[in-house]
Structure 1
Amino acid sequence: MDIVLVTAVIASLFIVIGAAEPLAARLRLPYSVILAIFGILIGMGAVFFLHTELTDALNPVAEAILGLPIRSNVFLYVFLPTLLFQATLGMNLRRMLDDWVPILVLAVVAVVAATLSVGYALSWASTLPLAACLLIGAIVSTTDPSAVVSIFRSISAPRRLARIIEGESLLNDAAAIALFGLFMGFVMLGAPDPSLGGALAQFPVLIGGGALVGWLAARVAVWVMALFGRHELALISISVALPYLAYIGAEQSIGASGVIAVVVAGLTLNLTGPGRLPPQAWINLREVWDLLAHWSGALIFILAALLIPRLLEGVTFSDFILIAVVVAAAITARAVILFGLLPLLTFLRLSPEVERPYRTAILWGGLRGAVTLALALAVTESFRVPIEVKRLVGILATGFTLFTLIVQGTTLRSVIGWLGLDRLSPIDEAMSRQVVAVALQSVRENVSRTTEAYALTHEIVRAEAKMFGERLEGAVKVAEDSGDISDRDRITLGLIALAGFERDTILDRVRERTISARMAEPILSDADRLIEGARVGGRSGYQRAARRSVAYGRAFRTAVMLHSRFRLSSPLVSMTADRFERLLSQRLIMRDLDTFIDGRIRRIHGRRVADLLHELLSRRIEMVGTALEGLRLQYPGYAEELERRFIRRTALRLEEREYTAIREDGLIGAEVYTALMQDLATRRTLAEARPRLDIAVQRVDLVRQFPLFSDLDERALKKLGAALKTKYVEAGKVILSKDIAAKSAFFIASGAVELESAGQTWRLGRGDMFGQLAILIGKARRVEVRAIAPSTLLVLDEARFRTLLARSSALRDAVRASAEQRGVDPALLFVEQPDTK
């Protein structure tokens, strides 16, 4: 085939790709539907010109189009890894993990249900063997990720719902391809007869092996990319190689799922890349992958559509009946999942509530695309599959895909309008009015400054200012006096706006490198939870999200258990250091929110809403302060190291700004500027390094670290160490309750606690003790002790404590000091005893 013609054809396809997007917007149709229509028309046109006698001039072009090397392996090994990898890079993994149960259930159960439904329906309606029918069911069971995601973006679906559907449509490719491989073995001629049990036993290898290959490949890639941190093009080039090597390595080396390998590799890079790579390099890498995925998704649709005329050759009337059976069975299976399983998951509190209109839109929006055609093409290419099976697989898969694209795709927007999903809710309408009012106020201020700077004619200024002022007053009045918005909704609107501004501020701080890229994703996830919490649950939802942002999660508690029981300290060290930096970053961000409340929200929603937001913000600041104080007490000095690091990063940012301003003023040339920026980059790399946190204290050192025992000799220290018992306490747990007499003295080896008595609170950290006053007074004291950080306590019973008190003058002095601090007369504690050491 002439390489010039092939190049010209491929270049022309890019012109088609460029024209399809604006045409889809103009016709209000899904982009993938337009691409599929173009592909079908191109394929039919090539066949027409090749066989017509009207002209032979276009025969070479038609031959080049029909002779393109379009094989199933091209789709599965070239285009599919690109689409999957880019989708995982764009996912908010931490938020996706919040909904892993509905995502996993929908991805697996929906595919299995569709496979069985289509398979048994076809087995009843045709003469094909059951295995071949189930093979067809597996082929048509996977939805197209790009089509599904674009649909939900077009209807402005809730973010959490969009995440669930995106995750489901991404992962169901792996389930469908795995089922395809299972049933393909049953229909191939000459293949050894597989057993169902043996085939199902391969699933752990498919999933686990693919996940392991993807994780290892991504870890190696991130390590290499970190070495090339200053060479942005090298980083991007390595990222391009990663999904293909992971896919091929999993498929060809261990027979695992290449789809799972690519997904895990992308998720691993998504999770670790921002903290290991320069921020601008990571942003550019994402942009490159967005472009690659756009091209791949468009080409895979056009090239797959080119095959449709070929796959539909020899279609008969009875085939149309079977296509109708496939359509009915697939839609029925999806309806059972959406209207049966999803409400059940919601009832069990495993999934967010999905309202009926959205479920209907999901049902009608289950478009099939290139993956379905690629799997069908793989069957038709195999010489070991019976001819009749190959013919029906090609016709039924292609016919069903055409139905979803042409019928469902073209009518989807009408269905959305019928369901009312294209109209804003009352609260969204109110938010749009708020945005208009706030924007107009900012515009008026900027216009005023502009007129002063350019000394414009006063008459013109007054006339325009009057017209603009009238428009602004009208917009503000509409925003303030909306009769259909209750006070509760006004508070919700204010909280959403506040959380949105918080998110924007985080992005600004990340771009300025005041907040490290490592912390960007978790802090942005917290802000997203605040937005969704306020949107769904109003004030209470916002407060729940705020409490969650400072709470210790399951992963942290697992890390504490690994450290305490198995001496595996690395996970706890990393999570504790992350928590330190996260809390410091949150405190930094929240300092800017009061100004936004007074400057924007008060002008739109009034003093009452603004005062309430100030109160809620104060509670958040107090929660963050308490959590941070617990860590300060637990690891004194480490917070100060992080604050010094923040100051160094801020100074470098200001220095970079000065160099850029001097360069723009023409005071230095490009060579000097480049040298200064390279030196700045070197110092910034050093400043980005986080100080080391040491939490691995050995048992013998736990006793020695206490100043209380400084006057004990080595023998007494060892004896005391044997008498002390270790107790691990999670954050938030009550250690001592009021009105219960303490029977032991507690020494804080690590962590922090809060004592509350008579309306007063004290916070104690590493090296402090509590419980000793209750022992010495001999009666219960109204004191509650609660851990405010994961803590390690050394516990000494009453008898041994009294013996130790008699031997240690330092301990007696500490007891007296603590009694005076808490308003207890030291004379009530003990009579001075001689030192018997």
Structure 2
Amino acid sequence: MDIILITTVIASLFLVIGIAEPLAAWLRLPYSVILAVVGMLIGAAAIFFLRTEFTDALNPVAEAILGLPIRSNVFLYVFLPTLLFQATLGMNLRRMLDDWVPILVLAVVAVVVATLSVGYALSWFSTLPLAACLLVGAIVSTTDPSAVVSIFRSISAPRRLARIIEGESLLNDAAAIALFGLFMGFVMLGLPDPTLGDALGRFPLLIGGGAAVGWITSHFAIWIMAFFKSHERAQISVSVALPYLAYIGAEQSIGASGVIAVVTAGLTMNLTGPGRLPPQAWAHLREIWDLLAHWAGALIFILAALLIPRLLEEVRAADFALVGVVIIAAVTARAVILFGLLPLLTLLRVSPAVERPYRIAILWGGLRGAVTLALALAVTESIRVPLEIKRVVGILATGFTLFTLMVQGTTLRSVISWLGLDRLSPIDEALSRQVVAVALQTVREDVARTTENYELSRDIVRSEAKTFGERLDGAVEKAEDSADILDRDRITLGLIALAGHERDTILARVRERTISARMAEQVLSDADRLIEGARSGGRNGYQRAARLSVAYGRSFQTAVALQRRLGLAKPLARLTADRFELLLSQRLILRDLGAFIDGRIRRIHGRRVGDLLHELLSRRLEATDTALEGLRLQYPGYAEELERRFIRRTALRLEEREYNAMREDALIGAEVYTALMQNLGARRAAAEERPSLDIALQRAELVRQFPLFTGFDDAALKRLGRALQTVYVNAGKVIARKDSIADSVYFIASGAVELESAGQTWRLGRGEMFGQLAILTQKARRAEVRAIAPSTLLMLDEARFRRLLERSPTLQEAVRISAEQRGLDPALFLPMGTKDS
């Protein structure tokens, strides 16, 4: 085929892609539906001109269109990895995990149920063998990611609804393709009818193997990209290769799921990429992948739609009835999962509740597209499948795809509107009216200043002011009608706005490189948790999320256990350094939020809400400062190094701003500017390197500064530092229970604890100890000890404590004072040589 003609056809397809998007917006139809219709029209026109004698002038074009190398592997190996990888790059994994149960149910269980339902329904109403019927079920059971994602992003659907459907469409391909491969083998080889166990037996290898290949490939790619720190185009080129290598590696090397491999690779890149790549490079990478996915999604629909006229050429009247059977069976199976299994899982507290309107939208949003057509095409391409099975499979898959696109796709926007999912809640509606009133008031003040500065004609100003004033009066009147928002709701909305502004501030600081790329994902995740907490739980939810942001997480506790039991200090050192940097970043952000409360939230929600938000912000800042101070006390030298690094990075940012300003003002030329920026880049790379944390060295320094260990020589301090074990506890955690056997003494390095016994309460802070009285009396503990702040404790076993007590007058005095405070005889707790002193 002439290369010029092929190039012309491909360029024309891109022209169609460019025209289809504004056309879809004008017709208020999903973009994917427009592309599918255009593709079918192009395919039908090519067949028409080639097979009629109407004109021969367009025959070369028609031959070029019909001769395009459109095979099933083109869809599965060229377009699908791009779509899957880009979707996972933009996914908020933490929020997706909130709905992991319904997503997995729809992605795996629903696929199996739909396959069996369609397969057995067809076997009752057709003469096809059961294996062929189940093959059709597997083909039509997968929702298409390009169809679903593009449609739900183009309409005003709630984000949770979109996340569930997107998550399902990304993962169900693996299950459907696995079942397809199994039943395709039975059909081609003419084997006996398969069982469900045969199908499910392959899932562990498909999923586990695919995840392993994706994880390994992604980490290798990220290592290469991080090595090319100053070569942005090289990083982007490596990212383009990643999904294809993961997909092909999983499919061809171990027979695992390429879909799962690509999704795993994308999620791994999503989680680790922002911390390993410069912020600007990461932003450009995301932009390029958005464009690649846009082209891939459009081309996959157009090219797949070109096939539809050919697949339907041999359709018969009886085939329409079978298409109806497939539609009814597939929709019924999906409804059983959504309205039967999911509510049952919610009742059993296994899954979060999915509201009924959401389930209706998910039922109607299960669109099929290019993936279904690609699998059907693979059947028609096989020379080992009987001709009648090829014909029926192609027609049924195509007919069902057309139904979902032309019926469900075109009415999905109306269904969303009918369910009320595209409308603001009464609270949000009332809030929007108040926001408009405040915004217009601000605009009027700014316009008045502008007209004075430019000395505009008074008549024109008066005329425009009258028009604008009428609009402002109307907005104020609507806002007054909405003044019945409850204070509780105002607080919730204010907290959501505050957390949203916190997220925007974090992004700005990341772009300025004030916050390192390593910490960007963590602080953004904390901000998202604050938003979700405020939405779901109001003030209490926001406070819970705020406490979690400064608490010691499970990974930290695991690292502590590894260090204590196996002597592995590196994980703990890394997480401790991350916690340092995280707290420094949080404090930086929190100090900037007060102005937003005064400038925006107070004007919209009133003084009382503003004051309350200031109080909550002060508590967060106090908790952050307390946690940071505890780390400073524990690791004084390291805290100083991190703060110096922060100052250096801030200075470099300001220096870069000055160079840019001088370049814009033509004070320096391109040569000088390039040289300055290269020097700046080298110093910035050095400043980005985080100093290492030596836990053993820092602990020895801490022991040296501990008041209870004064008078010890260096050798004794070193021995004591090796003997002490570090324990991290969150606020509210019980450290020692009443009536338990005491075997250790705890020294408080940072934080605070509360002792409760016989209705009395004592609070201890840094530099104090507890547990010594129970050990010395050799009786069960008389008090319960609970942390009242995130605390770092140094733990010493009983034998070492007794030896230490005999040698340390300072420690003996501390024991005497603690006994007297609790009304006990100090002589009962001291070594024999010290009782009379």
> Aligned partner of 1:764: which letter?
R
Quick one: structure 1 residues 65 and 553, their matched pair in 2 at CA, closer, same or farther if it must change by over 3 Å? Answer: same
Task: Give, in angstroms, the shift of residue 528 of structure 1.
Answer: 2.1
Task: Give, in angstroms, the shift of residue 499 of structure 1.
Answer: 1.6
Task: Give, in angstroms, the shift of residue 529 of structure 1.
Answer: 2.4
* Correspondences of 1:142-181 after superposition (within 5 Å): 142-181=142-181
> Aligned partner of 1:515: which letter?
I
Quick one: structure 1 residues 196 and 348, their matched pair in 2 at CA, closer, same or farther if it must change by over 3 Å? Answer: closer
Q: Render the CA deviation track for 1:450-508: whole Å, top value 9, x for unaligned.
A: 33443445565566456545544543453354155333222222122212211111111
Task: Give, in angstroms, the shift of residue 771 of structure 1.
Answer: 3.8
Contact 1:630–1:753 under 8 Å retained in 2? no
- State how far apart, in whole Å, the 2-side matches of 1:367 and 1:233 are: 36
Instruction: Answer with 381-390 or 298-307: which moved more.
Output: 381-390
Count matched residues. Answer: 831
Residue 766 of structure 2: aligned partner: 764
Task: Give, in angstroms, the shift of residue 580 of structure 1.
Answer: 2.3
Given the alignment of the two structures, is residue 643 of structure 1 paired with residue 625 of structure 2, yes or no?
A: no
* Correspondences of 1:555-566 after superposition (within 5 Å): 555-566=555-566
Residue 686 of structure 1: aligned partner: 686
Task: Give, in angstroms, the shift of residue 422 of structure 1.
Answer: 3.0
Quick one: structure 1 residues 828 and 568, their matched pair in 2 at CA, closer, same or farther if it must change by over 3 Å? Answer: closer
Contact 2:626–2:751 under 8 Å retained in 1? no
Quick one: structure 1 residues 630 and 228, their matched pair in 2 at CA, closer, same or farther if it must change by over 3 Å? Answer: same
Matched residues, percent identical? 76
Q: Given the two structures, how large is their TM-score scaled by the length of structure 1?
A: 0.91
Residue 546 of structure 1: aligned partner: 546
Q: Render the CA deviation track for 1:575-609: whole Å, top value 9, x for unaligned.
A: 33222222222222111222211211111221122
* Correspondences of 1:15-54 after superposition (within 5 Å): 15-54=15-54
- State how far apart, in whole Å, the 2-side matches of 1:22 and 1:114 are: 36
Instruction: Answer with 366-375 or 419-428: which moved more.
Output: 419-428
- State how far apart, in whole Å, the 2-side matches of 1:144 and 1:439 are: 42
Instruction: Answer with 129-138 or 156-165: which moved more.
Output: 156-165
- State how far apart, in whole Å, the 2-side matches of 1:821 and 1:65 are: 92
Quick one: structure 1 residues 759 and 712, their matched pair in 2 at CA, closer, same or farther if it must change by over 3 Å? Answer: closer
> Aligned partner of 2:745: which letter?
F
Quick one: structure 1 residues 555 and 480, their matched pair in 2 at CA, closer, same or farther if it must change by over 3 Å? Answer: farther
Given the alignment of the two structures, is residue 402 of structure 1 paired with residue 386 of structure 2, yes or no?
A: no
Contact 1:210–1:258 under 8 Å retained in 2? yes
* Correspondences of 1:146-545 after superposition (within 5 Å): 146-189=146-189, 200-457=200-457, 460-461=460-461, 464-465=464-465, 467-468=467-468, 471-472=471-472, 474-476=474-476, 478-483=478-483, 485-545=485-545
Instruction: Answer with 430-439 or 70-79: which moved more.
Output: 430-439
Where 1:735 maps in the other structure, the secondary structure is strand
Contact 1:736–1:785 under 8 Å retained in 2? yes
Q: Render the CA deviation track for 1:91-119: whole Å, top value 9, x for unaligned.
A: 11233233323222221111111111111
- State how far apart, in whole Å, the 2-side matches of 1:405 and 1:53 are: 33
- State how far apart, in whole Å, the 2-side matches of 1:679 and 1:778 are: 66
Structure 2 unaligned residues grouped into runs of 5+: none
Task: Give, in angstroms, the shift of residue 220 of structure 1.
Answer: 1.3
- State how far apart, in whole Å, the 2-side matches of 1:145 and 1:276 are: 28
Given the alignment of the two structures, is residue 133 of structure 1 paired with residue 133 of structure 2, yes or no?
A: yes
Contact 1:120–1:133 under 8 Å retained in 2? yes
Contact 1:753–1:786 under 8 Å retained in 2? yes
- State how far apart, in whole Å, the 2-side matches of 1:693 and 1:262 are: 35
Structure 1 unaligned residues grouped into runs of 5+: none
- State how far apart, in whole Å, the 1-side matches of 2:653 and 2:549 are: 28
Instruction: Answer with 470-479 or 637-646: which moved more.
Output: 470-479
Quick one: structure 1 residues 569 and 806, their matched pair in 2 at CA, closer, same or farther if it must change by over 3 Å? Answer: closer
Where 1:618 maps in the other structure, the secondary structure is helix
- State how far apart, in whole Å, the 1-side matches of 2:800 and 2:245 are: 64
Residue 568 of structure 1: aligned partner: 568
Quick one: structure 1 residues 742 and 384, their matched pair in 2 at CA, closer, same or farther if it must change by over 3 Å? Answer: closer
> Aligned partner of 2:248: which letter?
I
> Aligned partner of 1:754: which letter?
V
Task: Give, in angstroms, the shift of residue 144 of structure 1.
Answer: 1.5
How big is the alpha-carbon RMSD for the aligned residues of Structure 1 and Structure 2? 3.6
Residue 607 of structure 2: aligned partner: 607
Where 1:764 maps in the other structure, the secondary structure is coil
Where 1:157 maps in the other structure, the secondary structure is coil
Task: Give, in angstroms, the shift of residue 745 of structure 1.
Answer: 6.1
Q: Render the CA deviation track for 1:757-802: whole Å, top value 9, x for unaligned.
A: 988854327xx633447888999998844274475642444x9756
Quick one: structure 1 residues 192 and 77, their matched pair in 2 at CA, closer, same or farther if it must change by over 3 Å? Answer: farther
* Correspondences of 1:617-766 after superposition (within 5 Å): 617-695=617-695, 708=708, 728=727, 730-732=729-731, 733-736=733-736, 746-748=745-747, 752-755=751-754, 761-764=763-766
> Aligned partner of 1:516: which letter?
S
Q: Given the two structures, how large is their TM-score scaled by the length of structure 2?
A: 0.91
Where 1:188 maps in the other structure, the secondary structure is helix
Contact 2:634–2:699 under 8 Å retained in 1? no
Residue 589 of structure 1: aligned partner: 589
Q: Render the CA deviation track for 1:521-562: whole Å, top value 9, x for unaligned.
A: 222222222223222332233223223333333333333333
Instruction: Answer with 4-13 or 144-153: which moved more.
Output: 144-153
Contact 2:111–2:175 under 8 Å retained in 1? yes
Residue 71 of structure 1: aligned partner: 71
Q: Render the CA deviation track for 1:155-180: whole Å, top value 9, x for unaligned.
A: 43333332222111111111111111
Quick one: structure 1 residues 438 and 648, their matched pair in 2 at CA, closer, same or farther if it must change by over 3 Å? Answer: farther
Contact 2:552–2:728 under 8 Å retained in 1? no
* Correspondences of 1:784-823 after superposition (within 5 Å): 784-786=785-787, 788-789=789-790, 791=792, 793-797=794-798, 801=801, 804-812=804-812
Quick one: structure 1 residues 736 and 559, their matched pair in 2 at CA, closer, same or farther if it must change by over 3 Å? Answer: closer
Where 2:342 maps in the other structure, the secondary structure is helix
Instruction: Answer with 199-208 or 460-469: which moved more.
Output: 460-469
- State how far apart, in whole Å, the 1-side matches of 2:67 and 2:618 are: 68
Instruction: Answer with 103-112 or 635-644: which moved more.
Output: 635-644
Quick one: structure 1 residues 138 and 368, their matched pair in 2 at CA, closer, same or farther if it must change by over 3 Å? Answer: same
Instruction: Answer with 151-160 or 72-81: which moved more.
Output: 151-160
> Aligned partner of 2:795: which letter?
L
Task: Give, in angstroms, the shift of residue 257 of structure 1.
Answer: 1.3
- State how far apart, in whole Å, the 1-side matches of 2:288 and 2:719 are: 64
- State how far apart, in whole Å, the 1-side matches of 2:91 and 2:555 are: 20
Quick one: structure 1 residues 620 and 158, their matched pair in 2 at CA, closer, same or farther if it must change by over 3 Å? Answer: farther
- State how far apart, in whole Å, the 2-side matches of 1:648 and 1:720 are: 36
Task: Give, in angstroms, the shift of residue 704 of structure 1.
Answer: 8.9
Instruction: Answer with 285-294 or 409-418: which moved more.
Output: 409-418
> Aligned partner of 2:94: which letter?
R
Contact 1:533–1:541 under 8 Å retained in 2? yes
Where 2:422 maps in the other structure, the secondary structure is coil
Task: Give, in angstroms, the shift of residue 430 of structure 1.
Answer: 2.2
- State how far apart, in whole Å, the 2-side matches of 1:248 and 1:114 are: 28
Where 1:692 maps in the other structure, the secondary structure is coil
